[in-house]
Amino acid sequence: MKNSNNLRIISLTALMFSTLCGITRAADIGYHTEEVAGLQVFYREAGPKDKLTIVLLHGFPSSSHMFRDLIPELTSEFHVIAPDYPGMGQSQAPAAGNNVTFDSESIAIEQLLDKLGVKKAIFYMQDFGGPIGMRIATRHPDMVEGLIFQNIAITEDGWDPARLKVVKSNKGPETPDKRAAAESRVSMKTDLTLYQHGAANASALNPDAWTNDAFAIANPESRRVMTDLQLDIASNLELYPAWARYLADQKPKTLVVWGDNDPIFTPHAADAIGALAPGSQVQHYNSGHFALEEVHSDVAARIINLFSGTKR
pLDDT digits (tens, 9 = 90+) for 267-288: 999 999 999 999 999 999 999 9
Catalytic residue among 58, 65, 79, 289: 289
* Average pLDDT for 115-141: 98
DSSP-derived letter for residue 43 is E
pLDDT at 311: 55
58 in catalytic set: no
Q: 279 near 146, Cβ under 8 Å?
A: no
Look at residue 234 and tell me whether its pLDDT is greater than 90: yes
pLDDT at 107: 98
**Rounded (10°) angle between helices 267-276 and 240-250:** 50
pLDDT at 243: 98
What's the predicted TM-score (pTM) here?
0.91
Q: Residue 125: what are its φ and ψ, rounded to 5°?
A: -125, 125
Which residue, 118, 100, 103, 99, is CA-closest to 56?
Answer: 118
Q: What is the spatial distance between Cα 118 and Cα 140, in angstroms, rounded to a whole number?
A: 12
* Torsion of Cα atoms, 216 then 291 then 302 then 247, to 10°: -80
Measured in residues, the chain has a length of 312
Q: What is the spatial distance between Cα 273 and Cα 151, in angstroms, rounded to a whole number?
A: 11
Determine what percent of the chain is predicted with pLDDT higher than 90.
Answer: 88
pLDDT at 97: 87
- Give me the half-sphere count of Cα atoms (radius 13 Å) on the Cβ side of residue 205: 25
Residue 98: pLDDT band with limits 50, 70, 90: confident
Written as one letter, the residue type at 126 is Q
pLDDT at 24: 37
* Average pLDDT for 160-165: 97
Which residue, 93, 128, 85, 99, is CA-closest to 236?
Answer: 128
Look at residue 312 and tell me whether its pLDDT is greater than 60: no
Name the least confident of 20-34, 204-218, 229-243: 20-34
Residue 6: pLDDT band with limits 50, 70, 90: very low
In whole numbers, what is the pLDDT of the chain averaged over residues? 91
pLDDT digits (tens, 9 = 90+) for 29-56: 999 999 998 999 999 999 999 999 999 9
* Average pLDDT for 261-265: 98
Name the least confident of 8-12, 98-102, 203-207: 8-12
Look at residue 102 and tell me whether its pLDDT is greater than 60: yes
Q: What is the spatial distance between Cα 105 and Cα 85, in angstroms, rounded to a whole number?
A: 6
Q: What is the spatial distance between Cα 224 and Cα 183, in angstroms, rounded to a whole number?
A: 8
pLDDT at 268: 97
Residue 310: pLDDT band with limits 50, 70, 90: low
pLDDT at 25: 47
